[in-house]
A and B are shown apart, each in its own frame.
Chain A
């Protein structure tokens, strides 16, 4: 039984070999099919290529990619440039403000010294004292600077008439008077030394 099945398997393998690569024992059935179907084999015939048929060219994506890359680069550079411009436009304003505030901070505050009571009085009366003038001068400068930034604020000030200027001066004097009184009242309330108190007085001679 085993021998029979082995022989069958061997025959089968040989048949398969012939079917596979024509080696081994020829299979009559396969041979018959080859004989019957052989005449239908391809008969060589020249390929007629019409002239209008052209070989398609391989599409190169390089130009498209290059254009896209250039556009992207330009966009990035423009964005960078705009952001830089914004940054550059903003700091001068801030710097100007900073410098002004620094100037104000560093500017010597008008000290009311006891040896200058006359000036104090004068300031109260309406005569401009130098320290107060400097303080106002700085504010005026600030105002002037703000006005010079007309492009940003666009506030137009019409020219004042002499009467209006006089009235303005009066208002300013009144304000200074009030401010001086308030200062005095504050000093009294805080128990600060009187304005006419003499400090660091040394005997001379």
Chain B
């Protein structure tokens, strides 16, 4: 009896140690799968991760007062359409595209209907200078505008922007460099009337 137990112990000791399988999946994949499996609360984590990026994309495109509501709308829409996302790892680029499309829809639907009211005249931007710079952003090409907004407004650095939006680091670097150059020119032009 004792011999058998000793043999079993030896067999167990001789077995190669297998460490628990490391999950190499990106966190987005795990979260998306969990949400699709019914854990809706996990979507809040995705929201926390990507809300700044969506906010940065919208800041460069729509009036500041609309941005926060649009961010919520976009995430709710993403939750509804999450099953259409084929590659869960591409959640960032996917929601960035939704945000861009939603911003375009906003202008399509509101261009003819938004009226200038007294309330709007009274509302002052939080910082006049910031408003002026955002106006200058709007005159830049879209790619530069978005990357600069993510860099200056949301405080992301180049690698973070690349990771979140799905752009290549080289593209982000070029966008930042050329966008900054154009912005400098526009700021200089505004400063020298």
Residues of A within 8 A of B (CB): 16, 19-22, 29-30, 33-34, 36-50, 53-59
B36 contacts A58, C-beta separation under 8 Å: yes
Residues of chain B lying within 8 A (CB to CB) of residue A33: 133, 152, 183
A44 contacts B48, C-beta separation under 8 Å: yes
Instruction: Give the residues from 75 to 131 in chain B that come closer than 8 angstroms, CB to CB, to chain A.
Output: 75-76, 79-84, 126-127, 129-130
Known A21-B159, A58-B83; judge A42-B51 contact (CB<8 A): yes
B151 contacts A19, C-beta separation under 8 Å: yes
B84 contacts A38, C-beta separation under 8 Å: no
- Once bound together, how far apart are the Cα atoms of A73 and B26, in whole Å? 43
Per a CB cutoff under 8 Å, which of A16, A38, A46 touches B177? A16
Residues of chain A lying within 8 A (CB to CB) of residue B149: 37
The distance from the CB of B191 to the nearest CB of chain A, in whole angstroms, is: 12
Across the interface, name the chain A residue whose C-beta is closest to B173. Answer: A20
A45 contacts B68, C-beta separation under 8 Å: yes
Across the interface, name the chain B residue whose C-beta is closest to A33. Answer: B152
Known A19-B176, A55-B79; judge A38-B151 contact (CB<8 A): no
Per a CB cutoff under 8 Å, which of A22, A54, A58 touches B157? A22
Does more than half of chain A's interface fall in helix, strand or loop, or is it mixed?
loop
- Once bound together, how far apart are the Cα atoms of A41 and B159, in whole Å? 18
A48 contacts B36, C-beta separation under 8 Å: no
Per a CB cutoff under 8 Å, which of A20, A40, A55 touches B38? A55
Residues of chain B lying within 8 A (CB to CB) of residue A36: 127, 129-130, 133, 152
B127 contacts A39, C-beta separation under 8 Å: yes
A47 contacts B151, C-beta separation under 8 Å: no
A42 contacts B154, C-beta separation under 8 Å: yes
A53 contacts B176, C-beta separation under 8 Å: no
Known A37-B152, A47-B75, A49-B40; judge A55-B68 contact (CB<8 A): no
The distance from the CB of B27 to the nearest CB of chain A, in whole angstroms, is: 17
Residues of chain A lying within 8 A (CB to CB) of residue B81: 56
| New contact pairs (6) apart from A21-B157, A47-B51, A49-B40, CB-CB < 8 Å | A36-B129, A40-B127, A41-B55, A41-B154, A47-B43, A53-B76
- Once bound together, how far apart are the Cα atoms of A57 and B80, in whole Å? 9
Q: Does B141 contact A (CB under 8 A)?
A: no
B184 contacts A39, C-beta separation under 8 Å: no
Residues of chain A lying within 8 A (CB to CB) of residue B36: 55, 57-58
Across the interface, name the chain A residue whose C-beta is closest to B187. Answer: A29
A38 contacts B157, C-beta separation under 8 Å: no
Per a CB cutoff under 8 Å, which of A16, A34, A45, A54 touches B152? A34
B153 contacts A56, C-beta separation under 8 Å: no
Interface string of B149-175 (1 = CB under 8 A from A): 101111101110000000000000100
Q: Which 4 residue pairs are nearest across A and B when measured between Cβ atoms?
A: A42-B55, A56-B83, A20-B158, A37-B152
- Once bound together, how far apart are the Cα atoms of A65 and B155, in whole Å? 49
- Once bound together, how far apart are the Cα atoms of A84 and B140, in whole Å? 75
A29 contacts B157, C-beta separation under 8 Å: no
- Once bound together, how far apart are the Cα atoms of A27 and B36, in whole Å? 45
The distance from the CB of B127 to the nearest CB of chain A, in whole angstroms, is: 6
Residues of chain A lying within 8 A (CB to CB) of residue B158: 19-21
The distance from the CB of B70 to the nearest CB of chain A, in whole angstroms, is: 12
